[in-house]
Amino acid sequence: EEQELATLEQKCKELQTYAKEVELKQFAQLPLSKKTAEGLAKANFVEMTDVQRASLPFSLSGKDVLGAAKTGSGKTLAFLIPMLETLYRAKWTQMDGVGALVISPTRELALQIFEVLKKVGKMHTFSAGLLIGGKDLKSEQERVNKMNILVCTPGRLLQHMDQTPDFNCDALQMLILDEADRVLDLGFERDLNAIVANLPRDRQTLLFSATQTKSVRDLARLSLKDPEYVAVHSQA
Ligand code: ADP
Ligand code: MG
Q: Which atom of ligand 1 is nearest to the CA of 210?
A: 3
Q: What domains sit in the chain, N to C, each tagged with a CATH number?
A: 2-232 (3.40.50.300)
Task: Return the ligand number nearest the Cα of 78.
Answer: 1
Looking at the chain, the whole-number percentage of residues with pLDDT higher than 70 is 98
Beta carbon of 121 within 6 Å of any ligand 1 atom: no
Q: What is the mean pLDDT of residues 103-120?
A: 97
Q: What is the distance in A from the centroid of ligand 1 to the CA of 25?
A: 15
Cβ–ligand 1 distance for 234 under 6 Å, the answer: no
Q: For ligand 1, is residue 49 a contact (CB within 6 Å)?
A: yes
pLDDT of 236:
43
Q: Alpha-carbon Rg of the chain, whole angstroms? A: 17
Q: Is 75 in the pocket of ligand 1 (CB under 6 A)?
A: yes
* Poorest-pLDDT segment among 28-32, 41-45, 225-229: 225-229
Q: Does residue 55's CB lie within 6 angstroms of at least one atom of ligand 1?
A: no
How far is the C-alpha of 92 from the C-alpha of 158, rounded, in Å? 24
Res. 234 pLDDT band, cuts 50 70 90: low
Helix axes of 75-89 and 34-42: crossing angle, nearest 10 degrees: 150
Q: Could you give the CA distance from residue 30 to residue 37 in angstroms, rounded to a whole number?
A: 9
| Paired residues of 207 in beta bridges | 66, 177
Task: Say how many C-beta atoms besides its own lie within 10 A of residue 165's C-beta.
Answer: 6
Average pLDDT estimate for 101-122: 97
- Whether 149 shows a pLDDT value over 80: the answer reads yes
Single pTM value for the model:
0.96
The protein residue with its alpha carbon nearest to ligand 1, atom 19, reads: 74
Nearest to 67 by CA among 206, 235, 217: 206
Q: What is the pLDDT of residue 218?
A: 80
Ligand 1 atom nearest to 178, measured from its CA: 2
- Tell me the residues surrounding ligand 2 (ion) with CB < 5 Å: 75
Q: Whose CA is nearest to atom 26 of ligand 1?
A: 45
Mean pLDDT calculated for residue range 137-152: 93
